[in-house]
Amino acid sequence: MNSYEMPLVLFTVFSQSAIGLVVLSALRQVGGPDTDLRSIRTEWLAAGFVLLAGLTASVFHLGHPSGMVRALTNLGRAWLSREALTTTIFLAMVAAGLVLMRKKNNLWFSLATAAVGLLVLIAMGMTYSPVSFPAVNNALPFVFFSLTALLLGSSAGLMFVPESSRPMLTRVLTGSLIVALVIYLLVPCIWLSGGTIMKQTAGLWLASPLYWTRIVIGLVLPLALVKLLKGTQAWLWAVILIGELLGRAVFFADTVHTAVNMGGLY
């Protein structure tokens, strides 16, 4: 990592937003048969477009875009290949869902698609937690990515759902904002008690203006607005999106690789 990696920032954030939309849509359908079909299809259509935008951005990360199909050739050993496969399956299922749910809800298909979305999050978490990055060689990437899915899925969903579903999404958004704020403030402090590379990662994160801007704009401000407005507004999604993009840029640029001290004294 150690650079802003904007194609990966856009790919991960947009794809996780799409997963969040579909997962929360499936959970709403579990709540009862009266879920509005039009809002479900609109959510899934938005999820498909956002995911396609993320996949398009990811192409610019490749040195040879024409060879991107080779990303699927190492499924037995590489989490990157599994990420590519599960993301492709998820996109295909979102497209199929739009066809299957033209006249009525299909709860089981929605749940299956949501489950594949969770598999994408797991594959992404494993892809971006290599041994060479000790600070995130653990479950943290999966936690970060799942929070992004919940934050963007719940806030974006407010633009599509009927009034009866807004309280549920508001609760998910509020809880996710609180948990994310605690985790993102606590994690660098924990890294300070770790090894040399973890301490260096913590130092870069805590010294980064992007990190603190993300905390304020992407977490504190939305949480305050939810409380002050006694609810949520559809435009809150844009504020949270900015915060997630900033936070993901910090993740890629300021997480330290073990090679940084190669040839030097620790």
**pLDDT tens across 139-165, in order?**
999 999 999 999 999 999 988 888 877
pLDDT computed for residue 67 by the predictor: 46
For residue 64, pLDDT beyond 50: no
Calculate mean pLDDT across residues 59-63. 61
Pull the structure tokens for residue 134. 């000790």
Phi first, then psi, for residue 264 (nearest 5°) are -120, 170
List Cβ<8 Å contacts ≥24 apart for 176-182: 176/147, 176/150, 176/151, 177/151, 177/219, 177/222, 177/223, 177/226, 178/223, 179/147, 180/147, 180/151, 180/219, 181/215, 181/219, 181/220, 181/223
pLDDT digits (tens, 9 = 90+) for 198-255: 999 999 999 999 999 999 999 999 999 888 876 667 678 999 999 999 999 999 999 9
Which CATH code is given to the segment(s) 6-261? 1.20.1630.10
Calculate mean pLDDT across residues 174-200. 95
**SS3 state of residue 133:** coil
Q: Residue holding tokens 């904002």?
A: 177
pLDDT digits (tens, 9 = 90+) for 250-262: 999 999 988 766 5
pLDDT computed for residue 104 by the predictor: 81
* pLDDT band (50, 70, 90) for residue 76: low
Task: Please state, in angstroms and rounded to a whole number, the distance separating the CA atoms of residues 40 and 36.
Answer: 7
pLDDT computed for residue 182 by the predictor: 97
Amino acid at 195: G
pLDDT digits (tens, 9 = 90+) for 11-21: 999 999 999 99
What does pTM read for this prediction? Answer: 0.90
